[in-house]
Amino acid sequence: MSQRILVTGGAGFIGSSLCERLLSEGHHVVALDDMFRGRADNLEACSKHESFHFLSGDARSSEDLQRCYDLLGGIDLIHHLAAINGTRWFHEAARQVIDVNINATLATVEKALEWGARYVLASSPEAFGDVTNMPLMEESASLFSNPSQHQRFAYGASKYLDEVAVQHAVRNGLDGRIVRPFNGYGERLMGDKYGQVVAMMFEAVRRQEPINVHGDGQQTRSFTHVDDLVNGFYLAGHLDEGIEGQPLIGVSFNLGSDEEVNMLTLAQSINGVVGSQAVDIVLSEGYHGDSVRRLPDCSNAVTMLGWCPAISLKSGLISVWNRLQGQP
């Protein structure tokens, strides 16, 4: 059945692809974005669709959220993705990161309760903080270092509090679900100095500059193609119950690949993909507080949503590079 869906942060990297998927499934979509990091060209395909609306506004604002409701004549589901992402911002603009990440979640949760809408929160593996035991289980406890050392957890701790707010609302009747994307990548990922690692490495190649790898390059991540992430968001919002009838309300879903890759290997893989355009790889100082390892256990997503990542890192990197080169 066709639904009326609000995607906050809809002009961003994941949000814009999610809007495309929701439209292709026959839903009516309104994307709300203040364009802090969103891009109009991300929404080029969506804007040709008659069931799509874009609203420039602030996800912290009750009035802007209400305008979204009025545009579609009601909202059945909120995918809340608006947040300030990008490691450099965590350190440089900690106050703003905390403000947006927490207050936009509080405002959208409140509206979801008022409207009787289902709610999907985009949380993050950063909500686990400094935990070193891997893999990260969906129910793992979080651990945060002292804030006098660095401000990285402006982001992770605000995502943690977002989860607290959703779980609290669940106790008050919200049909809330939580997804945690693990290092998404795709051709729309931002590669500037406020961007994220895969895109920054491709950007270095495009500029024919050395790829910077932080620290000793041994820190690992689980890289997940945006199409796999979008599928996880879609299922988390779409399913009334799990594939074996499990309740989904209040459940958290890690969405990540089980390929654990260190940064040096990632840089080498990118050089492998770009062939004759390969550049030097140099080690440089990283950000204080960066996690050493990050590997998810995605049991809830697999057993309840029937989700599993379909795109290997190698084929994903090839497809991103081809698209960055203007090929389909």
Ligand X SMILES: NC(=O)c1ccc[n+]([C@@H]2O[C@H](COP(=O)([O-])OP(=O)(O)OC[C@H]3O[C@@H](n4cnc5c(N)ncnc54)[C@H](O)[C@@H]3O)[C@@H](O)[C@H]2O)c1
- Which residue in this structure is represented by tokens 């692809």? 17
Token reading at 250? 């209040």
Angle between the 313-324 and 197-207 helix axes, to the nearest 10 degrees? 50
Q: Please list, in sequence order, all residues whose beta carbon lies within 8 angstroms of the beta carbon of residue 150, skipping any fewer than 6 positions away.
A: 91, 287, 288, 289
For the CB of residue 189, give the shortest distance to ligand X in the complex, in Å.
7
Binding site for ligand X (CB under 6 A): 8-9, 11-15, 32-38, 58-60, 81-85, 100, 104, 122, 124, 181, 183-184
Measured from the CB atom, the residue of 35 and 164 that comes closer to ligand X is 35
For the CB of residue 148, give the shortest distance to ligand X in the complex, in Å.
24
For the CB of residue 118, give the shortest distance to ligand X in the complex, in Å.
17
Measured from the CB atom, the residue of 85 and 252 that comes closer to ligand X is 85
User: How many angstroms separate the Cα of 240 from the Cα of each of 119, 181, 235, 276?
Assistant: 12, 21, 9, 49
Taking alpha carbons only, the member of 130, 101, 127, 115 closest to residue 182 is 127
For the CB of residue 317, give the shortest distance to ligand X in the complex, in Å.
15
For the CB of residue 182, give the shortest distance to ligand X in the complex, in Å.
7
User: How many angstroms separate the Cα of 204 from the Cα of each of 159, 200, 223, 227?
Assistant: 30, 6, 19, 24
Q: Please list, in sequence order, all residues whose beta carbon lies within 8 angstroms of the beta carbon of residue 21, skipping any fewer than 6 positions away.
A: 230, 231, 234
Q: Is 185 exposed, middle or buried (0-12, 13-18, 19+ CB in 10 A)?
A: buried
Measured from the CB atom, the residue of 117 and 279 that comes closer to ligand X is 117
The answer to whether residues 38 and 9 touch, using CB atoms and an 8 Å cutoff, is yes
Measured from the CB atom, the residue of 203 and 279 that comes closer to ligand X is 203
Measured from the CB atom, the residue of 175 and 228 that comes closer to ligand X is 228
Measured from the CB atom, the residue of 96 and 312 that comes closer to ligand X is 96
Measured from the CB atom, the residue of 38 and 135 that comes closer to ligand X is 38
The answer to whether residues 259 and 311 touch, using CB atoms and an 8 Å cutoff, is no
Measured from the CB atom, the residue of 199 and 279 that comes closer to ligand X is 199
Taking alpha carbons only, the member of 214, 155, 228 closest to residue 185 is 228
The residue ranges of DSSP E strands in the chain, in sequence order, are 4-8, 28-33, 52-56, 77-80, 118-122, 176-181, 184-185, 211-214, 220-222, 224-225, 252-255, 260-262, 281-284
Tell me if residue 129 falls in helix, strand or coil. strand
Torsion of CA 8, 10, 15, 16, to 10 degrees: 170
Report which residue's Cβ sits closest to ligand X.
12
For the CB of residue 223, give the shortest distance to ligand X in the complex, in Å.
9
For the CB of residue 184, give the shortest distance to ligand X in the complex, in Å.
3
For the CB of residue 244, give the shortest distance to ligand X in the complex, in Å.
27
Measured from the CB atom, the residue of 159 and 279 that comes closer to ligand X is 159
For the CB of residue 125, give the shortest distance to ligand X in the complex, in Å.
6
